[in-house]
Amino acid sequence: MNGTEVKPSVAPGVRLGHVSFVWRPWVALITLLLVAATFLVFCLSIGVGDFPIGLPRVAATIFGRGERVDEFVIMDLRMPRALAGLVVGVALGVSGAITQSIARNPLASPDILGITGGAGAVAVFLVTVSGGAATAVVDAVGLSAAALAGGLGTGLLVYFLAWRRGLDGFRLILIGISVSAVMEAITTWLLASADIRDVARAQAWLIGSLDDRSWEEVRVALWCSLVLLAVVTCVAFQFKPMQLGDDVAAGLGVRYTMVRAVLLLCAVLLAGVAVSAAGPVPFVALVAPQVAMRMARCPTPPMVASGMVGALLLIGADLVARTALPVDLPVGVVTAAIGGPFLVYLLVRANRG
């Protein structure tokens, strides 16, 4: 020791009653910026269209101070689509962050919890196998609802198959991968043996889309995801110690089996909400947490920031798909085309130091 004092790099803790967290200015700043950016893109997405509306007027109308004309165009016509993008993006981002944290694997995403595979297989089955019971089901409840039921059923199947004296992250993802592989094989087989016109319809559904959303659909998705996010917020405070390992978490008084089970159930249901509102939009849940993690410079995927990156990606991609591209592409394609390279860019930049 020659007199130079090494400053500890520990971030200060904050305690408010029973709640305590670590104050990281950079994470907070990035999260705030992401929220602001999401709101901006959200307003932009509403403002752009055949009848363009300026940003201030959009913002004013959202807060209930707009004119009658604007109110009709914004609240009745464009809001459902933008709100669907927001809800789906946040749900997928948070769901992905939970899955990757619990599995402690950056390649994990809710896709491997079975939701996407199950919903896809059911939807493709209903589209390609016409006649009889399949048509009756589609007429009765609609394609999206039937697919959602299939997805949730598969997700819960994975969840219970993986349960053996508690929920182990590694076992869960391997079981999830196997069940998803079965569902994808069924989808592939159905597509290969179906009529080509049905295949095009099925393919369009499989990639996910925000077109023609109605207020009813969006409202249900919005409330469901709000409830789920509230649950996640309550449990998430117990989640941090778990990333140090089960033994440490148990030593710190965390009931890790319960916390993990609740969080995973929330991840499954959030992914289900997203499927119900937009179809199985691929890759958002995988890319968003990794991007958020690198922007916020966190060791694990940050929940709020992941949700915001997911929403930004989805609304932004929808905006690009509607305005900048000459051909009409579903939002899922554009999301992947933007999200994939952006992740690679972040990796390369990090490598260069």
Interacting residues with another protein (CB under 8 A)? 105-108, 112, 161-162, 164, 170-171, 173-175, 177-179, 181-182, 184-186, 188-189, 191-192, 196, 199-200, 203-204, 207, 282-283, 286-287, 290, 327, 329-330, 332-337, 339-344, 347-348, 350-353
Three-class SS string for 134-201?
HHHHHHHHCHHHHHHHHHHHHHHHHHHHCECCCECHHHHHHHHHHHHHHHHHHHHHHHHHCCHHHHHH
- DSSP states of 242-257 as a string? GGG-HHHHHHTT--HH
Closest separation in Å from C-beta 325 to another protein = 10
State the nearest-atom distance from the C-beta of 161 to another protein, in Å: 6
Q: What is the dihedral of CA 46, 271, 244, 309, to 10 degrees?
A: -20
Task: Provide the β-strand partners of residue 163.
Answer: 167
Comparison of 105 and 257: residue with beta carbon closer to another protein = 105
Q: Is the dihedral of CA 267, 272, 277, 283 positive or negative?
A: positive
- CB nearer to another protein: give 12 or 353: 353
Q: At closest approach, how far in Å is the CB of 189 from another protein?
A: 5
| Between 32 and 347, CB nearer to another protein | 347
- Give the residue with the Cβ less far from another protein, 133 or 192: 192
Nearest distance, CB of residue 345 and another protein, angstroms = 9
Q: Which residues are registered as beta bridge partners of 16?
A: 19
CB of 212 to another protein, least distance (A): 17
Q: Based on CB atoms, which residue is closest to another protein, 16 or 196?
A: 196
Residue 40 vs 143, nearer CB to another protein: 143
Taking the least distance from each CB to another protein, the nearer of 10 and 348 is 348
Polymer length of the chain: 353
**Burial bucket for residue 336 (CB in 10 Å: 0-12, 13-18, 19+):** buried
CB of 55 to another protein, least distance (A): 29
Distance CA 29, CA 14 (A): 17
Specify the 3-state DSSP secondary structure of 332.
Answer: helix
Q: Residue 93 and residue 333: Cα distance in Å, rounded?
A: 17
- The structure tokens 């958020």 sit at 292
